Amino acid sequence: MSSAWSDGTLPQYRSISWAAVLAFFLGLASALAVFNVLCVAIAIAAAGLSLIALWQISAKPDIFSGRGLALIALFLSVFFMIFAPARLAMRSRVLQQRGQQLAEAFLDLLKEGKTYEAHQLANLKRRGPGPPSDPAADPNKLTADDYRWFEETQTVQQVERINHKFDYHLELVEPSRTYSQMEIFVFRYRIVPNASPGQNPFPVWITVGREVDRKSGTPAWRIMDVQHVYKGNEH
Burial 116-134 (b: 16+ CB within 10 A, else e): eebbbbbbbbeeeeeeeee
Is residue 27 one of the residues assigned to a domain?
yes
232: left (phi over 0), alpha (psi -120 to 50) or beta: left
Q: Tell me, what's the pLDDT at 141?
A: 63
pTM over 0.95: no
Is residue 164 one of the residues assigned to a domain?
yes
Q: Tell me, what's the pLDDT at 17?
A: 84
* Residues 68 and 121 occupy one common structural domain: no
Q: Tell me, what's the pLDDT at 210?
A: 87
Return d(Cα 125, Cα 119) in angstroms, integer: 9
* Residues 20 and 117 occupy one common structural domain: no
Is residue 53 one of the residues assigned to a domain?
yes
Among 54, 89, 124, which residue terminates a domain? 89
Is residue 101 one of the residues assigned to a domain?
no
* Residues 198 and 124 occupy one common structural domain: yes
Number of C-beta neighbours around residue 220 at 10 A? 14
* Residues 118 and 65 occupy one common structural domain: no
Is residue 105 one of the residues assigned to a domain?
no
Is residue 71 one of the residues assigned to a domain?
yes
* Residues 72 and 169 occupy one common structural domain: no
CA angle in degrees (0–180, nearest 5) for 89-93-97: 170
Q: Tell me, what's the pLDDT at 177?
A: 66
Which of 176, 203, 205, 177 lies closest to 192, judged by CA? 203
Is residue 149 one of the residues assigned to a domain?
yes
* Residues 127 and 184 occupy one common structural domain: yes
Domain count along the chain = 2
* Residues 64 and 126 occupy one common structural domain: no
Is residue 107 one of the residues assigned to a domain?
no
Give me the domain span that covers residue 76. Answer: 15-89
* Residues 147 and 201 occupy one common structural domain: yes
Return d(Cα 59, Cα 120) in angstroms, integer: 70
* Residues 84 and 119 occupy one common structural domain: no
* Residues 73 and 116 occupy one common structural domain: no
Return d(Cα 206, Cα 184) in angstroms, integer: 10
pLDDT (tens, 9 = 90+) of the chain, 235 residues, equals 445 545 555 556 678 888 889 999 999 999 888 888 788 899 999 999 999 999 988 888 888 888 888 999 999 999 999 998 898 889 888 989 999 999 999 999 999 999 888 888 887 766 544 444 444 455 556 677 788 888 888 888 888 888 888 999 999 888 766 655 678 899 999 999 987 666 788 899 999 988 887 777 788 888 888 887 544 344 4
* Residues 40 and 74 occupy one common structural domain: yes
* Residues 83 and 120 occupy one common structural domain: no
Among 57, 89, 121, which residue terminates a domain? 89
